[in-house]
Amino acid sequence: MASLIWFRRDLRVSDNRALYQAAKNGEPVVAVAFATSQQWLIHDDSPGKLSFWLANLQVLAERLAALGISLHLEIVADFADIPEAICRFAREHGCNALYFNREYEVNEQKRDEAVSRAFAAQKIKTFAYADRLLLEPGRMLTGSGGFYTIFTPFKNSWLGVAQLSDLTPLPAPAPLASPLKQVVLPSARLIKELKLPGWREDLWPAGETAAQARLAHFAANGLDKYNEMRDLPAVDGTSCLSPWLACGAISPRQCLAVIMRARKNFPTEGSGEAVWLNELIWRDFYYHVVSGFPRVSRSQPFRKKTTALQWRHDEESFLAWQNGLTGYPIVDAAMRQLKQMGWMHNRLRMITAMFLSKHLLIDWRLGEKYFMQNLLDGDLAANNGGWQWSASTGTDAVPYFRIFNPFSQSKRFDNDGKFIKKFCPELAEVSTAALHNPAKLAAEIQKKKISYPAPIVDHKMARERALAAFKNL
């Protein structure tokens, strides 16, 4: 008999709690993963993210083969097909136990419950582990037993629970058998068949070794300065680990370990390590929101009152936003970064999301969907959380009257225009001052005959329109 390990978004052998437990007795282990093309469409998973997932799966297959574990990729349409398919797989491979790491979104939970029921009916045990987050939803609850809706008390509670939890990364399991000679995963063929455009392999090479190398680079060069650099899109000031975290090629505990190595304890003051830890806690927080308030996974705002907001229908402006042609240089550079890299800097995600939902008063759900369809790190919890924060519809969101002025934002965070000019090369000859001043920009564009659009909306008018819409609620 063998144990079955089911991989989903935990594509690594090191610090993988389900794999570690499945392999710890030295009994045979078989691994399975499911490609679910219909589900991917329903979830708006981007082609780049899927290519990256498949490529990471291929690397994982090689790592597992070295441990004597074969990984099989089964192809089904959607989550509903998985219970039957995985039961059949378990029967065919003589498995008497199923191991997996828990996931928290509505559809994923339903899928896992159905699989657990199907296995229980066959008298096969299932073991599920808390692995994806530092601390699982439900571990931090308010005094009255509810889910937190504000980040700071959540974080304080989080720090208390974390002190009492073992968050040390686990090693990879010891080899169970001689290395397998053949690794048969058809990822390359699948990528071709599904016609998925490749991700930027030069920026995000697949596999946990590459992810660890990026973490080591960040720990050595960025972590202690993260508090000063993280808002500057032109510099390498953040970890850029999100695509690997999204597919699980690296674990959050492995990220936390570099903080603990540097600070020996949970840092709470404003150091680079403390601010980076804060971001990892935000990651947990948004999962906790998705889990505690499932309506946010169903395209509903967290703040029910904002359901009544009168969003504008403006296809032309929405397209200009998508294509980086709004006439606001920082917004355009950011949207082009997303198209070119499948990734966008956090400060810019806030600026562009707020521009769509406030300046253009276009429904944040359209922007959320577009981000998912283009991001390599697309993640329902963080994406929904970020969009609802920016649109002032979410938990602990920005107040509706705090509307970023994109020109002030670029002056503050891209003062020399290096980032803007990289992604909007047509603005290379524009003076730095003009990049942050609409009147000067218009004058220089005209004088230098540069092909760049005039702002599609006036900042002052747009601000007042958004304020009025929110006030009317």
Ligand X SMILES: Cc1cc2nc3c(=O)[nH]c(=O)nc-3n(C[C@H](O)[C@H](O)[C@H](O)COP(=O)(O)OP(=O)(O)OC[C@H]3O[C@@H](n4cnc5c(N)ncnc54)[C@H](O)[C@@H]3O)c2cc1C
Q: How far is residue 463's CA from residue 458's CA, in Å, rounded to a whole number?
A: 8
Largest CA distance in the chain: 77
Sites for ligand X among residues 342-361 (CB under 6 A): 346, 349-350, 353
Instruction: Determine the size of the site formed for ligand X (CB under 6 A).
Output: 28
First to last CA, the chain: 61
Contact segment (CB under 6 A) with ligand X among 20-28, 175-183, 372-380, 426-434 equals: 372-380
Q: How far is CA 74 from CA 43, 103, 133, 453, in A?
A: 19, 19, 26, 48
Choice from 104, 158, 321, 371 touching ligand X (CB under 6 A): 371
Residues 6+ apart with CB under 8 A from 420: 329, 330, 332, 333, 410, 414, 427, 435
With residue 201 as reference, give the H or E element that holds it.
Answer: none
Instruction: Work out how close the CB of 183 gets to ligand X at its nearest, in angstroms, rounded to a whole number.
Output: 29
Rule CB under 6 A: say whether 286 interacts with ligand X: yes
- Catalytic status, residue 40: no
Query: Two tokens at 68?
Result: 């004597």
Would you call 463 exposed, middle or buried from its count of C-beta atoms within 10 A (0-12, 13-18, 19+)? middle
- Angle value at C-alpha 126, between 122 and 129, nearest 5 degrees: 165
Query: Which one of the spans 84-92, 187-195, 371-379, 458-466 is the region binding ligand X (CB under 6 A)?
Result: 371-379
Rg over CA atoms, the chain: 23
240 touches ligand X by CB under 6 A: yes
- Between CA 347 and CA 62 the distance in angstroms is 37
Q: The tokens 């082609």 sit on which residue? A: 47
Looking at 282, 321, 343, 389, which residue is catalytic?
282
Q: Which two tokens stand for residue 160?
A: 């208390």
Between 99 and 286, CB nearer to ligand X: 286
**Collapsing DSSP states into helix, strand and coil, what is residue 30?**
strand
- Closest CB to ligand X among residues 66, 130: 130
Q: Which is nearer to ligand X, 62 or 279 (CB)?
A: 279
| Integer Cα distance of 361 and 390 in angstroms | 12
Known catalytic residue at 279: yes
Interface of this chain with ligand X, residues 177 to 236, rule: CB under 6 A: 230
Q: Which residue is nearest to ligand X (CB)?
A: 386
Number of residues written out for the chain:
473
Give the residue with the Cβ less far from ligand X, 24 or 418. Answer: 418
Q: Is 276 a catalytic residue?
A: no
Task: Tell me how far, at minimum, the Cβ of 285 lies from ligand X, in Å.
Answer: 7
Sign of CA dihedral 289, 294, 295, 296: positive
Of the candidates 51, 63, 23, the one whose C-alpha atom is nearest the C-alpha of residue 246 is 51
Comparing CB distances to ligand X, the nearer of 73 and 382 is 382
Contact 176, 68 (CB under 8 A): yes
| 392: contact with ligand X by CB under 6 A | no
247 binds ligand X (CB under 6 A): no
Residue 271 contacts ligand X per CB under 6 A: no
Shortest Å distance, C-beta 32 to ligand X = 26
Shortest distance (Å) from residue 105 CB to ligand X: 13
CA 45 to centroid of chain Cα atoms: 11
Q: What is the pattern of x (binds ligand X, CB under 6 A) and - over residues 156-185? A: ------------------------------
Is 311 considered catalytic here?
Answer: yes
Would you count residue 377 as binding ligand X (CB under 6 A)? yes
Q: Per rule CB under 6 A, is residue 242 in the interface with ligand X?
A: yes
Question: Interface with ligand X includes 383 (CB under 6 A)?
Answer: yes
DSSP annotation of 297 reads G
In the complex, the residues that contact ligand X under the rule CB under 6 A are 230, 238-242, 245-246, 279-280, 282-283, 286, 346, 349-350, 353, 371, 375, 377-379, 382-383, 385-387, 390
- The residues annotated with a catalytic role in the active site are 279, 282, 311, 346, 364, 387
